[in-house]
Amino acid sequence: MPRYAMVIDQERCVGCQSCTVACKSEWEVPNGSARTKVRQTGTVGQFPKLSTAFYVSQCNHCDRPTCVPACPTGATYQDQNGVVRVNRDLCIGCGSCVAACPYGARYINAEIGKVDKCDFCASRLSRGLQPACVATCPAHAKIFGDLEDSSSDVFQFVYRGAAKRMETANIAIGPNVYYAGKPEHAELALASFAPLPPRTLAPGKVWSSLLNKFVFLAVGATFLGQAVAFFHQLSTGEKQFEE
């Protein structure tokens, strides 16, 4: 079973956004949102010893995604290839998963009222094509493949090379978009675009902390109340209404 992953070679990337637009074109991503987008860190260092790095913000199809459990209806799920996907037929567009993603990879598609994000171009993969962003990149900076295939480039980068995950001490959920190239560029990218703690929306917090308890208390109490009444009824004998 393939386990898909991607490697961003920061030394190759020039930040041209070809991937952003190819993806936008392939998946009708509305203006203002992006499934994948290249970001550039600020310039660090002292003139003229300067440094900057490129980072690609998109779904990382993590090993332990925080978005999947956050979805009330289970519309967001991880398939057998490790690709985190959204079932549009189950999504109600509540946005819980958007808040739960540490990488800010998801967005609400206002045109359809549902959540969208990179799915490694699942329908292209099934046709034997590369993801749109990978296919278009002039610098061949996005490398895509199967981590279970030892002959694949991603395997080499991840297991033989020094490809890094964008993880911090607090947030280490196993992102499967790795970063290759100079270590200082990966560090710079991580410093500028570190994953943030997954958030729960206010209604979600109310639900998980209060609501279940409250509702079950109410239902339980009324149920118990009736159970008491029932036993009372049994003990005092059936008082049938006389005809």
Query: Of 206, 207, 205, 199, which Cα lies nearest the Cα of 101?
Result: 199
Please say which residue, 139 or 169, places its beta carbon nearer to another protein. Answer: 139
Rounded Cα–Cα distance for residues 178 and 4 (Å): 12
Applying CB under 8 A, does 221 fall inside the site for another protein? yes
The owner of tokens 């009222």 is: 113
Peptide bond into 138 cis (omega under 30): no
Applying CB under 8 A, does 149 fall inside the site for another protein? no
Phi, psi of 91 (to 5 degrees): -75, 135
Query: Of 240, 200, 175, which Cα lies nearest the Cα of 97?
Result: 200
Q: Which of 58, 60, 81, 136 binds another protein (CB under 8 A)?
A: 136
Please say which residue, 98 or 166, places its beta carbon nearer to another protein. Answer: 98
The owner of tokens 């990978």 is: 134
Rounded Cα–Cα distance for residues 136 and 132 (Å): 6
Contacting range for another protein; rule: CB under 8 A; set: 57-65, 131-139, 147-155, 190-198: 131-139
Query: Of 131, 88, 165, which Cα lies nearest the Cα of 77?
Result: 88
Cβ atoms within 10 Å of 123's Cβ, excluding its own: 10
Q: Which of 2, 3, 26, 194 binds another protein (CB under 8 A)?
A: 26
Applying CB under 8 A, does 18 fall inside the site for another protein? yes
Applying CB under 8 A, does 156 fall inside the site for another protein? no
Question: Pattern of binders to another protein over 181-220, x per CB under 8 A?
Answer: -------------------xxxxx-xxx--xx-xxx-xx-
Cβ 126 to another protein shortest distance, Å: 9
Applying CB under 8 A, does 111 fall inside the site for another protein? yes
**Binding to another protein (CB under 8 A): which residues in 34-93?**
42-43, 45-48, 50-53, 69-74, 87, 89-90, 92-93
